[in-house]
Structure 1
Amino acid sequence: MSIRAVAAGAVVLVAAVAVSFSGQPSARAEQGPPPRTLPSLKAWTPGGAGFSLGAHARVWYDKDALRDTATDFALALRSFTGNDVVAQEGSSGGSGDITLGTGLLPDAPETPEAYRISIGETLELRGADIAGAFYATSSALQLLRQRPAIPGGTVTDWPQYRERSLMLDVGREFMPVDMLRAQIRRMGYLKLNLLHLHLSDSFGFRLDSDRHPEIAAAQHYSKQDIRDLVAYAARYQVEIMPEVDFPGHMNGILAAHPDLKLRSANGRVSDAAIDIANPRSYDLMRDILEEFLPLFPGRYWHLGADEFLLDGTRVASFDEYPQIGEYARATYGPQAQPVDAFLGLINWGADIVRAHGKRPRVWNDGLHTDAGTLTIGSDIVIDYWSRAGIPQLPLPFFGIARSPSDLIAAGHEVRNASFTPTYYVAGGPTAAGNVPPPIAYQIWDPTLFVDGTRLTPEQNTHNLGSGLFVWCDDPTVRTPDRIAASITMPLQVTAQQTWGPPQAGSYLEFSALADAVGEPAA
């Protein structure tokens, strides 16, 4: 997107002696400061003996489904402690050992991502499900990296938002598989759970196509690359969500199909937009969807649907394309407006996505107030980045796009993808809008949207969460390695704000904590 820079978790009181990290001490605080992780923990009850990792420690796991998590956890512990740590099936550990299991957590909301850490002579990690058990290991790794002994007590933790994401614009700048794997490891360490891959844009379609080999860029991912990446991400409790953007941002595809490019009445040709009045355009788009939907086993497919009439820096009007209005009236009735052809395309693509057992998603900017006679399916998730709408100047802070509250009232779930501060743009003039991490940490949370409106608690139950959206408007400016280094702190801030309160102190304290927990093991 060239011009773009959850349910709320129930808050419970686990015990009268609990110390939340808002800084309120308990009567037993003399045992030492509460343990600190990134993102910060929801609740801590101090007491009892502390834990030190044994020189020949075992990570005991009580079911085969935890084997990978236990094995990876043991390897990570060995890498930074030097201790002889191995994973072993079983359920009862001794002093200096760690146990890993799943089961009911009565002091936490009902989410599979909740977990509890009981700290004593044995470190007991328990998740509500596999995801929670994995997050317990992430927290335990961070705690043991900061100090060799953890004070006795009980941690109870859970996320506020269902989605805590990272989006990478690999359509404009190809990012090698090893770089993607490194970001997945980061995500698992920070309890982020959705990797959104923007797979097609100005500089390429990044998937190897059997049906249309002509559309694949020179640098692309093979189908086996994707299968391996999906499996790798699953070990870190990360779901991969693909996006192939229709009907705009299709430069990489349309370069091989110039006959399908959108042409105005005066002969102006768009390199980015496909002609949605041409039936053959739907044949090409259907082929792409049908080929790649089965490749990704996750719950979602992102249809894009943003900036359809944006051509370079110029924003066009539907009036310039009379064939679109004619198609809309012929397809949806004499009262149809030109925008109905666009809305109908979203519903058409959404039907194909649903037929493959997935849930469709789109960006929000093409959904205008009081525009069109059609409505899009209420099950479509809206990623809300801009209050602008086409046609008009694309200024994301105000405009004619439907508001977040209006979309929620219409039955949609949303993700807060605000142009500021969730966007990190690597290259191009829009990079000037990147918000410094201290500001994002101090003034923003996922209830605050790009137009300055804030959701009510009830509305926020329909907010899936937020993420960091990395756009590569000018792919010549930064290499993938430089991008990875540059997003280190923005990604840590994203993890904190989407996991939810309490915050980890001031930004200076948060920054020091980020240094202390470090990066995950390779």
Structure 2
Amino acid sequence: MSIRAVAAGAVVMVAAVAVSFSGQPWAHAEQGPPPRTLPSLKAWSPGGTGFSLGAHARVWYATEALRDTATDFAAALRSFTGNDVVAQEGSSGNPGDIALGTGSMPGAPEMPEAYRISIGETLDLRGADTAGAFYATSSALQLLRQRTTITGGTVIDWPQYRERGLMLDVGREFMPLDLLRAQIRRMGYLKLNLLHLHLSDTFGFRLESDRHPEITAAQHYSKQDIRDLVEYAARYQVEVMPEVDFPGHMNGILAAHPELKLRSADGRVSDAAIDIANPRAYDLMGDILDEFLPLFPGRYWHLGADEFLLDGTRVASFDEYSQLGEYARAAYGPQAQPVDAFLGLINWGADIVRAHGKRPRIWNDGLHTGAGTLTVGTDIVIDYWSKAGIPQLPLPFFGIARSPADLIAAGHDVRNASFTPAYYVAGGPTAAGNVPAPLAYQLWDPTLFVDGTRLTPDQNAHNLGSGLFVWCDDPTVRTPDQIAAAVTMPLRVTAQQTWGPPQAGSYLEFSALADAVGEPAA
């Protein structure tokens, strides 16, 4: 998804609508400064004997479910400290050893990602579940990388938001598997947990299709590639969420099916949009869903549903396509509006997603205030990126799209995918809207949406979180490696703001901390 026009003053606008992020004070902060990690820790109680990593330390893991986490943690400690650290099953240890386990987590909300670090002669890492145990190792690794001795005390930590993500636009710019794995390692190190892959767009459909081999791009991922990637991501507590965008942004699919392209009454043909009044369009889209939904074991499937009538740089009107109105009235009754053909398509796709045991998601811009006679299923998660809606000039800050608060009141969960500052666009005119990391750190948090509205605490309970959304509008501008390097600091800011307060001091302090914790082990 991208927009084709953007206000030159986008950064200024973000600053105008934003208010400063309000962190929460450290628990027991008056007793001493907390250990410093990225993202920062929720609660710290100093006291007792400090920990020093043993020259021949053991990482004792309590259950088989923690074996991989313990093994990876020990390998990373060897890499960063030079100490001879190995993983071993068991629950006892000598001074300088580390114990890894799971159990109850007093003082933290009941969630599997909560964890505790007890710092004494041994380092005790305990998660509410395996996810929390993994995040305990991420924090411990950052601490021991900075210094192999840690002041005595207790850390209790948990995320503010359920989703903390990275989206990669591999539909426009193919990204090699090694790069995807590197980003997964980076996500685990920063406690990010959702990798959203935008798998189909202008320049290709990136999945190997058995049912429709004609739509598969030359650069693509095999089904075994995806299985391996999903397994690799799970090791780092990262869920892979696929997106195949319907009914717009289908250039890579429609190049092989020009007969299904949307045609206006005056004969104009869209390369991006499929004709949802044509029954054969549903055959093709249904085949794609049925083939690939079983490939991804995660909880979600993203249907896209953005910018349906965006034709190049021109935004069309539903009234220009007489067949859409005819189809809507035939399918949904004489009172139906042309937009109901689009809303019905969303519900049709969502039914298929549910039948495969997953929860559907879409982008928000196709949901307009007062448009259509149909409503979309309230279990659909709405990724909120733009206020503009369609048909309208594609400027994301103003317009007729339903507000985040309205969608929540209707029963939806949302994710804050604000065009600014959650987007990073590599190439094209919309790259002018990229917000520098210092501004995002100082002025934004996931309660603040692109239209300038901020959710109340009650509303925010239905906000799953946010992420960094990396779009490759012009894939000739930067290589995948250059993109990965460019998003280093934005991704760190994303991790801090989605894990939640307190912040790690000023941006200069945050940047220095980021340098100190560095990148994860290869």
Smaller-chain TM-score bracket: over 0.9
CA contact (8 A) 1:21 1:504 kept: no
CA contact (8 A) 1:22 1:503 kept: no
User: Which residue pairs with 1:293 in the alignment?
Assistant: 293
Q: Aligned partner of 1:56: which letter?
A: H
The SS at the match of 2:484 is: helix
After superposition, the C-alpha distances for 1:254-275 in whole angstroms (9 at most, x for unaligned) are 0000000000001000000000
User: Which residue pairs with 1:149 in the alignment?
Assistant: 149
Q: List, as ranges, runs of 4+ consecutive aligned residues in structure 1 with deviation greater than 3 Å.
A: 20-28
- The alpha-carbon deviation at position 316 of structure 1 amounts to 0.2
- For 1:27 and 1:374, the matched residues in 2 are separated by 56
User: Which residue pairs with 1:85 in the alignment?
Assistant: 85
Matched, 1:519 2:516: no
User: Which residue pairs with 2:486 in the alignment?
Assistant: 486
User: Which residue pairs with 1:256 in the alignment?
Assistant: 256
After superposition, the C-alpha distances for 1:424-465 in whole angstroms (9 at most, x for unaligned) are 000001001000000000010000000000000000000000
- Alignment map for 1:158-237 (pairs within 5 Å): 158-237=158-237
Q: Aligned partner of 1:374: which letter?
A: L
CA contact (8 A) 1:22 1:505 kept: no
Q: Aligned partner of 2:384: which letter?
A: Y
- Alignment map for 1:285-434 (pairs within 5 Å): 285-434=285-434
Matched, 1:496 2:496: yes
User: Which residue pairs with 1:115 in the alignment?
Assistant: 115
Q: Aligned partner of 1:460: which letter?
A: N
User: Which residue pairs with 2:440 in the alignment?
Assistant: 440
The SS at the match of 1:465 is: strand
- For 1:473 and 1:507, the matched residues in 2 are separated by 29
The SS at the match of 1:166 is: strand
The SS at the match of 1:388 is: coil
After superposition, the C-alpha distances for 1:40-82 in whole angstroms (9 at most, x for unaligned) are 0000000001111101100000000000000000000001111
- The alpha-carbon deviation at position 25 of structure 1 amounts to 6.9
- The alpha-carbon deviation at position 105 of structure 1 amounts to 0.4
- For 1:299 and 1:179, the matched residues in 2 are separated by 24
Q: Aligned partner of 1:183: which letter?
A: Q
The SS at the match of 1:325 is: helix
The SS at the match of 1:491 is: helix
- The alpha-carbon deviation at position 383 of structure 1 amounts to 0.1
After superposition, the C-alpha distances for 1:259-297 in whole angstroms (9 at most, x for unaligned) are 000000010000000000000000000000000000000
The SS at the match of 1:244 is: strand
CA contact (8 A) 2:27 2:42 kept: no
- For 2:186 and 2:378, the matched residues in 1 are separated by 33
CA contact (8 A) 2:26 2:44 kept: no
- For 2:391 and 2:377, the matched residues in 1 are separated by 23
Q: Aligned partner of 2:325: which letter?
A: G
User: Which residue pairs with 1:13 in the alignment?
Assistant: none
User: Which residue pairs with 2:58 in the alignment?
Assistant: 58
- For 2:133 and 2:473, the matched residues in 1 are separated by 38
User: Which residue pairs with 2:73 in the alignment?
Assistant: 73
The SS at the match of 1:330 is: helix
User: Which residue pairs with 1:265 in the alignment?
Assistant: 265
- For 1:462 and 1:409, the matched residues in 2 are separated by 10
- For 2:372 and 2:95, the matched residues in 1 are separated by 67
Matched, 1:457 2:426: no
- The alpha-carbon deviation at position 21 of structure 1 amounts to 7.8
After superposition, the C-alpha distances for 1:341-369 in whole angstroms (9 at most, x for unaligned) are 00000000000000000000000000000
CA contact (8 A) 1:384 1:404 kept: yes
CA contact (8 A) 1:21 1:40 kept: no
After superposition, the C-alpha distances for 1:96-146 in whole angstroms (9 at most, x for unaligned) are 000000001011000000000000010000000000000000000000011
- The alpha-carbon deviation at position 386 of structure 1 amounts to 0.2
The SS at the match of 2:357 is: coil
When structure 1 is superposed on structure 2, of 78-87 and 276-285 the one drifting more is 78-87
Aligned residue pairs total 505
CA contact (8 A) 2:327 2:341 kept: yes
- The alpha-carbon deviation at position 22 of structure 1 amounts to 4.1
Structure 2: unaligned runs, 5 residues or longer: 7-22
- The alpha-carbon deviation at position 2 of structure 1 amounts to 2.3
- For 2:38 and 2:181, the matched residues in 1 are separated by 20
- For 1:138 and 1:26, the matched residues in 2 are separated by 22
Q: Aligned partner of 1:267: which letter?
A: G
State the TM-score, normalized to the length of structure 2: 0.96
Say if 1:26 and 1:462 are closer, same or farther in 2 by CA, change over 3 A: closer
- For 1:395 and 1:3, the matched residues in 2 are separated by 7
Say if 1:23 and 1:358 are closer, same or farther in 2 by CA, change over 3 A: closer
Q: Aligned partner of 1:265: which letter?
A: A
The SS at the match of 2:184 is: helix
Say if 1:21 and 1:59 are closer, same or farther in 2 by CA, change over 3 A: farther
CA contact (8 A) 2:340 2:374 kept: yes
Q: Aligned partner of 1:469: which letter?
A: F
- How many percent of aligned residue pairs carry the same amino acid? 88
- The alpha-carbon deviation at position 28 of structure 1 amounts to 3.8
CA contact (8 A) 1:301 1:360 kept: yes
Say if 1:239 and 1:23 are closer, same or farther in 2 by CA, change over 3 A: closer
After superposition, the C-alpha distances for 1:206-250 in whole angstroms (9 at most, x for unaligned) are 000000000000000000000000000000000000000000000
CA contact (8 A) 2:276 2:341 kept: yes
CA contact (8 A) 2:421 2:435 kept: yes
The SS at the match of 2:341 is: helix
CA contact (8 A) 2:31 2:45 kept: no
- For 1:191 and 1:173, the matched residues in 2 are separated by 26
After superposition, the C-alpha distances for 1:307-363 in whole angstroms (9 at most, x for unaligned) are 000011000001110000000000000000000000000000000000000000000
- For 1:229 and 1:52, the matched residues in 2 are separated by 36
- For 2:387 and 2:26, the matched residues in 1 are separated by 37
User: Which residue pairs with 2:98 in the alignment?
Assistant: 98
